[in-house]
């Protein structure tokens, strides 16, 4: 068997363009995304033993399965406009899209509702190990980082209800202990070639009739028939009827075919425009000081304080409730302290706007991929001075506040994708 378990073959696909119609209702996967090779969406199982119950024993003897939630970090180490479109749309919640040449501008703003849109995600682990689909994933928090001489970076902390579907199943077949072949109840085994079908059977084991222990069974071929026949080495000499347990990949559902990636160039920090101290008038950012080579990094963080819970009316398997408990946003600015401007604003307790725009390559003449974020009302919470090598430095801890007219943030993503979280 040549079953491939290299992490190089891992894939992630999401319903970036269209949100779920209701919680725990899977949406069609439409986009594969380039995330870090170390990222894996995980099931967060909830299990308890009976250590606090009177079992008559020193140690527990039972484990209760309470279902589980889902979580995972999605790191975009070379972030593209489309990644910001996906992350901000599901992290903030309201998207308005307008045509722009052959592309689109997506204006993304915070939802007033305490609900967030949910997306469906699926991962392929290895080339032939497992494909797992997760319903109702949410962007719990988001971090965008722009450092000198680096790619723009985006990191999403996602949380989910724990509802999932695997492409691998388990089936019990009753046959003689000396059988040389097994036939599945109804399913074919996934694979167009004999080698593929053999790879897609992960295990065959038999319950020994005399001892009731489970023993591995060797298998050598899987037919293309429906239901499939599996050629095995007879585990014993007796014709006693017993159970065989088979773990395999049946003919895959449509969701198991992962969609293509959208092709975009990554964003570089060299193409960043950063203005501090101006004012947003509803259509343009007026005034402010443009910061350039003195900036080491600027970081934006969004935290939705998301609660995903098991509630009345659901199941014991996965959660049926997700609520945003209050949005928090901050900007962290690390720069050379070339003047006293930021310190003076902190002393004066001055409110001001912040403007960030990362511009990438053109997708048509005169129209570039870009991500623009406007923060109409901010204030410096803290800005400690330090020494960085031989120069003075300051770290501005800037709080994003909610403006009476324009809210807390307006984000615009320009690219050729028609919708996000629609």
211-238: pLDDT as tens digits:
999 999 999 999 999 999 999 999 999 9
Note whether 413 and 104 are within 8 A (CB): no
Give the Cβ contact number of residue 392 at 10 Å.
Answer: 12
Q: Coil, strand, or helix at residue 220?
A: strand
pTM over 0.75: yes
- Confidence at residue 37, expressed as pLDDT on a 0 to 100 scale: 94
Task: State the pLDDT confidence band at 128, using cuts at 50, 70 and 90.
Answer: confident
Q: In whole angstroms, what is the distance from residue 413 CA to residue 357 CA?
A: 10
Provide the CA 245 distance to its chain's centre, in angstroms. Answer: 33
Among the residue ranges 19-28, 68-77, 147-156, 386-395, the one predicted with the least confidence is 386-395
Digit-coded pLDDT (tens) for 48-73:
999 999 999 999 999 999 999 999 99
The model's confidence at residue 394, banded by pLDDT at 50, 70 and 90, is confident
When pLDDT is averaged across residues 25-34 and rounded to a whole number, the result is 98
pLDDT over 80 (residue 345):
no
* Nearest by Cα to 87 from 98, 99, 76: 76
Distance separating alpha carbons of residues 372 and 416, to the nearest angstrom: 16
Q: What is the chain's alpha carbon radius of gyration, rounded to the nearest angstrom?
A: 27
pLDDT of residue 421: 98
């Amino acid at each position: 068997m040549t079953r491939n378990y290299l992490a190089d073959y891992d894939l992630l696909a999401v319903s970036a363009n269209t949100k779920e119609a209701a919680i725990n209702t899977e949406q069609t996967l439409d986009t594969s995304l380039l995330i870090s090779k170390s990222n894996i969406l995980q099931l967060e199982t909830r299990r308890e033993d009976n250590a606090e119950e009177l079992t008559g024993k020193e140690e527990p003897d039972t484990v209760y399965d309470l279902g589980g939630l889902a979580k995972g970090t999605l790191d975009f180490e070379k972030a593209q406009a489309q990644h910001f479109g996906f992350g901000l749309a599901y992290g903030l919640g309201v998207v308005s899209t307008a045509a722009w040449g052959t592309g689109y501008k997506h204006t993304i703003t915070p939802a007033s509702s305490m609900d967030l849109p949910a997306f469906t995600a699926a991962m392929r682990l290895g080339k032939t190990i497992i494909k797992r689909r997760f319903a109702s994933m949410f962007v719990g928090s988001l971090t965008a980082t722009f450092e000198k001489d680096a790619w723009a970076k985006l990191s999403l902390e996602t949380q989910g209800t724990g509802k999932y579907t695997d492409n691998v199943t388990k089936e019990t077949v009753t046959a003689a202990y000396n059988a040389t072949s097994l036939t599945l109840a109804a399913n074919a085994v996934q694979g167009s070639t004999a080698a593929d079908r053999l790879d897609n059977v992960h295990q065959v084991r038999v319950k020994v009739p005399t001892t009731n222990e489970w023993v591995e069974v060797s298998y050598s071929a899987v037919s293309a028939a429906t239901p499939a026949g599996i050629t095995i080495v007879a585990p014993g000499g007796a014709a006693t009827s017993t159970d065989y347990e088979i773990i395999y990949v049946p003919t895959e559902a449509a969701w198991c075919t992962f969609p293509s990636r959208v092709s975009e160039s990554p964003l570089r920090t060299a193409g960043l425009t950063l203005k501090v101290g101006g004012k947003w008038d509803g259509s343009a950012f007026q005034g402010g000081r443009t910061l350039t080579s003195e900036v080491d990094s600027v970081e934006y963080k969004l935290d939705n304080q998301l609660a995903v819970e098991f509630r009345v009316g659901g199941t014991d398997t996965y959660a049926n409730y997700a609520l945003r408990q209050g949005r928090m946003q901050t900007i962290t600015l690390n720069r050379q302290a070339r003047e006293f401007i930021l310190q003076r604003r902190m002393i004066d307790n001055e409110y001001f706007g912040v403007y960030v725009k990362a511009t990438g390559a053109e997708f048509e003449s005169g129209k570039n991929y870009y991500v623009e974020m406007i923060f109409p009302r901010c204030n410096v919470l803290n800005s400690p001075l330090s020494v960085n090598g031989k120069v003075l430095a300051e770290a501005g801890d800037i709080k994003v506040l909610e403006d009476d007219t324009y809210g807390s943030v307006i984000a615009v993503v320009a690219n050729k994708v028609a919708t996000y979280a629609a």
